A and B are shown apart, each in its own frame.
Chain A
Amino acid sequence: GQQVMQIPQYQHVQEGEDFTTYCNSSTTLSNIQWYKQRPGGHPVFLIQLVKSGEVKKQKRLTFQFGEAKKNSSLHITATQTTDVGTYFCAGHNAGNMLTFGGGTRLMVKP
Chain B
Amino acid sequence: ETGVTQTPRHLVMGMTNKKSLKCEQHLGHNAMYWYKQSAKKPLELMFVYNFKEQTENNSVPSRFSPECPNSSHLFLHLHTLQPEDSALYLCASSQVTYLNTEAFFGQGTRLTVV
Q: Interface of A with B (CB < 8 Å)?
A: 30-31, 33, 35, 41-45, 48, 86, 88, 90, 92, 96-100, 102-103
Which parts of B61-114 form the interface with A (CB within 8 Å)? 90, 94, 96, 100-108
The number of residue pairs between A and B whose CB atoms lie closer than 8 Å in the complex comes to 49
* Residues of chain B with a CB closer than 8 A to A33's CB: 102-103
**B48 lies within 8 A of A97 (CB):** yes
The answer for the CA separation of A88 and B33 in the assembled complex, in Å, is: 17
**A45 lies within 8 A of B96 (CB):** no
* Residues of chain B with a CB closer than 8 A to A45's CB: 102-104
Q: Interface of B with A (CB < 8 Å)?
A: 2, 33, 35, 41-43, 45, 48, 56, 90, 94, 96, 100-108
B36 to chain A minimum Cβ distance, whole angstroms, is 11
B43, B48, B96, B104: the one contacting A100 at CB < 8 Å is: B43
Nearest opposing residue in chain B for A6, CB measure: B42
**A100 lies within 8 A of B45 (CB):** yes
**A30 lies within 8 A of B100 (CB):** yes
A40 to chain B minimum Cβ distance, whole angstroms, is 10
